[in-house]
Structure 1
Amino acid sequence: MSKLKIALCQMNVIDNKQENILKATSMINEAVSHNSNFVVLPEMFNCPYSNDKFIEYAEEEKTSPTLNSISKLARQHETYILAGSIPEKEDSKIYNTSYLFDKKGNIIAKHRKMHLFDVDVEGGIYFKESDTLTPGDKFSVCETEFGKVGMGICYDVRFSQLAHINVEKGASILFYPGAFNMTTGPAHWELLFRSRALDNQVFCVGVAPALNESASYHSYGHSIVVNPWGEVICQLDTREELKIVEIDLNEIEKVRNEIPILKNRRNDLYEIIEK
């Protein structure tokens, strides 16, 4: 199956876990009514984006009410759901973790954010995820009926090595639930997604929370889909919105035949060694 409809759920996240789950449920139900094959939620879709809330909202995978709700929806609608990310607790550690559910409601992949967002931009944003979160250390590529997909989260998109390894493992779509802010978003969001798509000649998808001006952290929104030619085929604004985007994976082979970047790489001169 080369064509699929991806639903971008750019939802408004508030300081109420149950309301966030209900909002995600509503958007998933609507997405399925438009024949979406693959529904994507934003980074920290059940939780305000702040270190204190990561601690308060953290859930263990096996007992997570958030993941249980998404699993039931995937099974009910027989659709793939990429559950953006949630604060996942294991032992005494908290991770920023994304989960992929198959059409039977099973978790078939999870990605713990590898690169933590520790920044201090002069005149802009100061934020250190490492004050609360622990970084992941595993690559996340998973087989679906549409082929393999690769997973990252937000700040991970800045690291080309992660994207390259995921594509070397066979990924034809790179998903990055993310929450860039109002400093880094206008400067780099579109540029990074176009770069990762163009570098690897794949589709690159980013889904963000909507801008909530009453929150302490202001998400840039602008959920996006970029094709293997590096063209933006969809980009939202800052408002809450559900958008269905159809892509054709046959475009990947076409672009790679026209400009054979992957074949022309000088792997005899450079390589990435995965630990």
Structure 2
Amino acid sequence: MSSNKFRIALVQLVVGGTKENNVKKAIDFIKQAKEKGSDVVILPECFNSPYGTKYFSSYAEEIPSGETSKALSQAAKENNVYLIGGSIPERDGNKLYNTCTIWNRSGQMVAKHRKVHLFDIDIPGGITFKESETLSPGNQLTVFETEMCKIGVGICYDIRFEEMARIYRNMGCQLLVYPGAFNMTTGPLHWQLLQRARAVDNQVYVAGVAPLTEKGSDYTSWGHSTLVDPWGKVVVEGEFSEAILYGDIDLSTVKEVRQQIPVSLQRRTDLYDTVKKGEI
């Protein structure tokens, strides 16, 4: 591909109860993705562990000394890809985090994103879930650079906060990545909608990469990993089957959209600053 184009792989895998099997499956998919020409491979949220507050502590590892981190580092190096490692439960002292590791082509960890906005919701007749029962929130935003473009990273519930995506765009990102395990209540309603909204608002590509959960699991993931372009068009979308989804990123599309609809040049920061100061 040209310097303006590169391929990303969205790995939508079924997560079971055995960490070793989950990690091995992810490594196999990374190799397959490279064989199909991928430059960036993205794993889903909580890919080495069942998703649930009762699992996080027993599956948690230190980063980057844990077994999962070592496996991802080796896979990134052996396959010469940028690897966005979905997320795993991270143990740091007496705290647990929902953490995404990012590895460069040499297998070096170049960034680590701890989920900033924890998934605490209560929908009567739908779902009640509180990550804050066991997890602590991260306190920083995460951007990393490749030879193709800058990439911003969030995890699942982070996608609901448009300010975060706006900051990433202002920092020069052209691709935003959100590993996420939306549920069967909010997934059909909001998962694709939020990706398209973040893409159109910020004129970037947005990738949402979801796991699938085994039948009978306490938590059922909506799946439907998706790539959206800066026009808000869905480039590729999965369903409920385990698969690698491929999407070709064309950075000239980002430039085209921003030139034709120059929202960043027309933002009324003078007005917004006045509102912030309470003068209106």
Place the TM-score, normalised by the shorter chain, in its bin. over 0.9
Tell me the CA shift for residue 122 of structure 1.
1.2
Aligned twin of 1:193: 195
CA distance in 1, matches of 2:148, 2:64: 27
How much identity, in percent, do the aligned residues show? 47
Tell me the CA shift for residue 211 of structure 1.
4.1
After TM superposition, list the pairs within 5 Å mapping 1:172-191 onto structure 2.
Answer: 172-191=174-193
In structure 1, stretches of 5+ residues that fail to align are none
Tell me the CA shift for residue 214 of structure 1.
2.0
Counterpart selection for 2:33 from 31, 46, 50: 31
The aligned amino acid for 1:18 is E
Aligned twin of 2:168: 166
- Secondary structure at the aligned position of 1:268 is classed as helix
CA distance in 2, matches of 1:80, 1:102: 5
> Is this contact kept in 1: 2:223–2:240, CA < 8 A?
yes
- Secondary structure at the aligned position of 1:269 is classed as helix
C-alpha distance after superposition, 1:204-252 (max 9, x if no partner): 0000002432211000000000000111111110111111111101100
After TM superposition, list the pairs within 5 Å mapping 1:167-246 onto structure 2.
Answer: 167-246=169-248
After TM superposition, list the pairs within 5 Å mapping 1:59-78 onto structure 2.
Answer: 59-78=61-80
In structure 2, stretches of 5+ residues that fail to align are none
> Is this contact kept in 1: 2:117–2:157, CA < 8 A?
yes
> Is this contact kept in 1: 2:16–2:213, CA < 8 A?
no
Q: CA RMSD in A?
A: 1.3
CA distance in 2, matches of 1:28, 1:229: 28
Aligned twin of 1:118: 120
C-alpha distance after superposition, 1:143-163 (max 9, x if no partner): 111111000000000000010
CA distance in 2, matches of 1:140, 1:114: 10
The aligned amino acid for 2:238 is L
Q: Number of aligned pairs? A: 273
Tell me the CA shift for residue 188 of structure 1.
0.5
Moved over 3 A (4+): none
> Is this contact kept in 2: 1:211–1:239, CA < 8 A?
no
CA distance in 1, matches of 2:93, 2:143: 25
> What is the TM-score with the length of structure 1 in the denominator?
0.97
CA distance in 2, matches of 1:88, 1:96: 6
> Is this contact kept in 1: 2:50–2:213, CA < 8 A?
no
> Is this contact kept in 1: 2:236–2:246, CA < 8 A?
no
